[in-house]
Amino acid sequence: MRTGLLHFFRGEVQTCQEQVEDLIALATDQEFPDWLGLGTALRGAGLVEQGRVEAGMAQLQQGLAGMQALGQEIGRPSYLAWLAEAYGKQEQTEEGLRVMAEALAAVDRIGERYDEAELYRLKGELTLQSSVQGLASSVKISPRSKVTSHRSKKTNPQLPTPNPQDEAEACFLKAIDIAHKQQAKSWELRATTSLARLWQQQGKEKKAHKMLSEVYNWFIEGFDTKDLQEAKALIESLNS
């Protein structure tokens, strides 16, 4: 299981899947329902990463249901977060944010914080995605609907809504802070990469380049992994 997780976090999904299939076969043969639930959920996460999102979500939900039936909490925040990310890939970001809230609540309830930073990063990404989808939906509103909406705003003023980019930035910064305190450099790199992309869109290339480069330059190995390759490509684009 741990070997499979390691390959998954390194972005080596195919190798992860091979490890997971061995785990599921052994858990089934030896009748270990707890390990079967964990393995099924991890299989689902791998399928999502391979682009088989619907099949992956079904496996994630099956694994989570099995874990819940046993009262098993170990690993639940991570698998909920992967399910939330899968909802995002299906453009169901509101459902994804709901599941992410459940994942963060589970972190506080059971105290399993080893990937808390990654959870906040994913929450930030879903928040940004949700705002983009909301903007796209508003563009499709008919002219007559726009007039009606404009009038209702005059007669029923509402409090200003939070800026999604500010919310996402706060999530990324929290993720970076948590990862830094835990000395979890891989999570810190992911969160900083997400923040740098946001700052790039906001015209803060110099600030983004400096922050991401400092984290990237800490690493002395693993440059063939997906996270470091993405960070390097972003650094180069920020420097161009």
- The predicted model gives 133-148 an average pLDDT of 50
pLDDT of residue 158: 60
The amino acid at residue 6 is: L
- Distance (Å) of CA 28 to CA 57, 143, 170: 21, 58, 43
pLDDT of residue 143: 44
- The predicted model gives 141-165 an average pLDDT of 54
pLDDT of residue 157: 52
pTM comes to 0.84
Place of tokens 């997906």: 226
Among 179, 184, 189, residue whose Cα is nearest residue 117: 179
Task: Assign 8 a pLDDT band (cuts: 50, 70, 90).
Answer: confident
| Rounded Cα distance, 231 and 229, in Å | 5
Statement: residue 75 has pLDDT above 90: no
Statement: residue 173 has pLDDT above 70: yes
- CA torsion 219-220-224-226 (nearest 10°) is -10
- The predicted model gives 81-99 an average pLDDT of 95
| Rounded Cα distance, 38 and 25, in Å | 12
**To 10 degrees, what angle do helices 205-216 and 226-238 make?**
150
| Rounded Cα distance, 91 and 141, in Å | 19
Place of tokens 């509103």: 141
**To 10 degrees, what angle do helices 185-201 and 226-238 make?**
30
Query: With pLDDT > 70 as the criterion, what percentage of the chain qualifies?
Result: 87
